[in-house]
Amino acid sequence: MKQEKIIVQEHSIISEAIRTIEMEAEAIHHLSSMINDDFVNAIDALYNCKGRIVISGIGKSAIIAQKIVATLNSTGTPSIFLHAADAIHGDLGMVQQQDLVIIISKSGESPEIKVLVPLIKNFNNPLISIVGNTTSFLARHSDFVINTTVEQEACPNNLAPTTSTTAQLVMGDVIAVCLMKKKGFNVADFAKLHPGGALGKKLYLRVSDLYPDNEKPEVRPDHLLKEVILEMTKKRMGVTAVTSEDGTVLGIITDGDLRRMLERNGLENIRAKDIMTKNPKAVLPSEMAVNALDIMRKSEITHLVVSENGKYLGMIHLHDLVKEGLI
């Protein structure tokens, strides 16, 4: 009997989880019908803003506002967060003359919002509302209205902000992406704002930042096997390039090549050119390190020759990329 009760509870939880996901997904899909001329005009106003984007809200909408601020800042639109309750107790001073204000609210009728809106209008700052009630006080006093109306909260009691805050969050992402597109914000711009961590390294770290710190194993085609082994042992890369007198890359020898050679032949009279792999995989020093990693993965190798115009510059190892946190 107890086991049957647990099964029923588990089934109920699964059903409730699916219902919530489907309800929020439907609300997000419905947002596409709310993209209109007012939205386009709001994006133009944001794009042409000479100051910062000040985003405000109360309760759960304030939390969404903070996330949107973070997204806009990371994608090239300077933004700050202003809590609606704190604004009317001194923080309104952070709003400057050229700033544009966005206020987020489901009802558009919160007491704090009703106090804040006239103050913003008195400063003559443009006001955009992201609101779930287009006939509300907030919507009526906004220069531009971005509609995030939802039919019902996912909350079983239709009370806790769930579907409505998801809609606000998605609309914030929509605004950020539209501004990125309008500004031509590209990968290089993104890298400037995200220099730290693995993400930053994927965007700015180049092969030229890695190979100069490594040894540069190198032998000539006519070097005997003993000399090849000594060079590989001395430089401790597990590999050596085979180059001509002018430094042109002719091939590569790995420790795997040595093992395979020993299985087939004796050691006498073996030279570098006899066991090297011709035309090895190579990469330019200016290449992004993450692209070098992609070449290694696709080719199932652990080393890459670094060369330019055919001239041998050095070697990078998979461990270099691991050390930098790209894997």
Q: Binding site residues for Zn(2+), as ranges?
A: 83
Q: How many C-beta neighbours within 10 Å does residue 111 have? A: 11
Q: How many distinct helices (H) and strands (E) make up the chain?
A: 14, 12
Q: Which two tokens stand for residue 76?
A: 């090239």
d(C-alpha 93, C-alpha 96), whole Å: 7
Short-list 144, 141, 129, 145, CA closest to 61: 129
d(C-alpha 289, C-alpha 294), whole Å: 9
The β-bridge relationship of strands 127-131 and 144-147 is: parallel
Residue that the structure tokens 């093992």 belong to: 259
The full DSSP string for 207-276 is GGGTGGGS---EE-TT-BHHHHHHHHHHHTSSEEEEE-TT-BEEEEEEHHHHHHHHHHS-STT-BHHHHP
- End-to-end alpha carbon distance in the chain: 50
- The annotated binding site is made up of 83
